[in-house]
Amino acid sequence: MIFSFIKSFKRIRQDMKNISLLCLGAEKHAHSNGEDKPGAEHFLLAAFELPDGTAKKVFERLNIDSTGINQAIKNQHIDALHNAGLSDESIEENLEFTEITDPKLKLFDTTPSGQAVLKTLYQSNKKRNTAFTGAHVLEVIASMKYGIAARTLTVMGIENSALKVAIADELR
Amino acid sequence: MTTLNSLPHPSDPAEALAAVSSLRLMADKLERNAVSEAVQQGWTWAQIAEALDITRQAAHKRHAEFINNKER
């Protein structure tokens, strides 16, 4: 009984540490792209920086290089803006941003897609009795059908069904 | 001046909404860069607010942090 309690306490402490790392990482990626709030795509990037390394292992199962995510986010914007009739030159010029290097200290906030990631992670965390990992973040993002994160995975040539299988295999 | 030759048709909502999302991001960045340039050229927050058709307080709240950040 007491061992089970200690184990559960250790897991909660580890989960809190990882969620904190995930949120800080997502915020850092948003700021380096000149955006003040992280969205699902920034949580996707941050998942690969969690110490468990499971997000990277999921991509390795699919033979996908995870270092290409940032460029894929940019490419999905370029595709969408091409579809809106904008030229390469105008897209390049207007997607330029200045990195937010010294943000004002304020409460952590996200875009609605970022909130959806955290809410779903929280709900799945309550049901699970294993530690929270980067693969769980991918699991949540793989369940999103629309939005920047979903389009980024499509741009990277990742099939949603294959991604879900790779995540399930990694979490097994 | 960029001419929009074509826009995704609303009958394809996935493409149309993706375009809206990216256009919004681009508009935000264009606004931020233009406000930064305006401040450097000596515009007041009242003038910037008038050009954006928002209140002076809203203009300041939305952009002051970024401008200060850029100046550091």
Per domain, the residue ranges of chain A are 2-96+103-171
Which residues in chain A are contacts of B6 at CB distance < 8 A?
83-85
Going by C-beta distance under 8 Å and a sequence separation of 6 or more, which residues neighbour residue B4?
Answer: A84, A85, A86
The string of pLDDT tens digits covering residues A30-68 is: 999 888 899 999 999 999 999 999 999 999 999 999 999
Closest CA to A93 of B68, B65, B69, B34: B34
Q: Is A132 helix (H, G, I), strand (E, B) or coil?
A: coil
Residue A120 and residue B32: Cα distance in Å, rounded?
A: 32
Q: Does residue B7 belong to the interface with chain A, where contact is any CB pair within 8 Å?
A: yes
Top-confidence range, A33-42, A52-61, A129-138, B19-28: A52-61
Amino acid residing at A91: I
Smallest CA–CA distance, residue A67 to chain B, in Å, is 22
CA distances from B72 to A98, B42, B48, B69 (A): 13, 18, 21, 5
The tokens 């401008």 sit on which residue?
B67
Smallest CA–CA distance, residue B46 to chain A, in Å, is 23
In a domain, B2, yes or no: no
In a domain, B13, yes or no: no
Is residue A94 within 8 Å of B30, Cβ to Cβ? yes
pLDDT value at position A133?
95
pLDDT value at position A125?
84
Question: Across the interface, which of A94, A101, A146 has its CB nearest the CB of B29?
Answer: A94
- Cβ within 8 Å, pair A98-B66: yes
Smallest CA–CA distance, residue A42 to chain B, in Å, is 14
CA distances from B11 to A82, A146, A148, B58 (A): 18, 16, 20, 35
- Cβ within 8 Å, pair B3-A85: yes
Is residue B22 within 8 Å of B29, Cβ to Cβ? no
List the domain range (segments joined by +) for residue B68: 43-72
- Cβ within 8 Å, pair A80-B2: no
Mean pLDDT, residues A101-126 taken together? 87
Looking at chain A, which residue has its C-alpha nearest residue B72?
A102
Q: Is the pLDDT of residue B5 over 80?
A: no
Looking at chain B, which residue has its C-alpha nearest residue A99?
B70
Question: Across the interface, which of A81, A85, A100 has its CB nearest the CB of B22?
Answer: A81
Question: Across the interface, which of B3, B25, B70 has its CB nearest the CB of A98?
Answer: B70
Residue A76 tokens, joined = 């999905």
Determine phi and psi for B31, rounding to 5 degrees.
Answer: -60, -45
Residue A89 and residue A93: Cα distance in Å, rounded?
A: 6
In a domain, B69, yes or no: yes
**What total number of domains does chain B contain?**
1
Residue B1 and residue A98: Cα distance in Å, rounded?
A: 22
In a domain, B15, yes or no: no
Q: Is the pLDDT of residue A5 over 80?
A: no
Residue A50 tokens, joined = 């969690």
In a domain, B31, yes or no: no
Amino acid residing at A127: K
| CATH 1.10.1780.10, domain A2-96+103-171, yes or no | yes
The torsion of the CA quartet B5, A147, A21, A128, rounded to 10 degrees, works out to -170
B2: confidence class by pLDDT, cuts 50, 70, 90: very low
Q: Does residue B17 belong to the interface with chain A, where contact is any CB pair within 8 Å?
A: yes
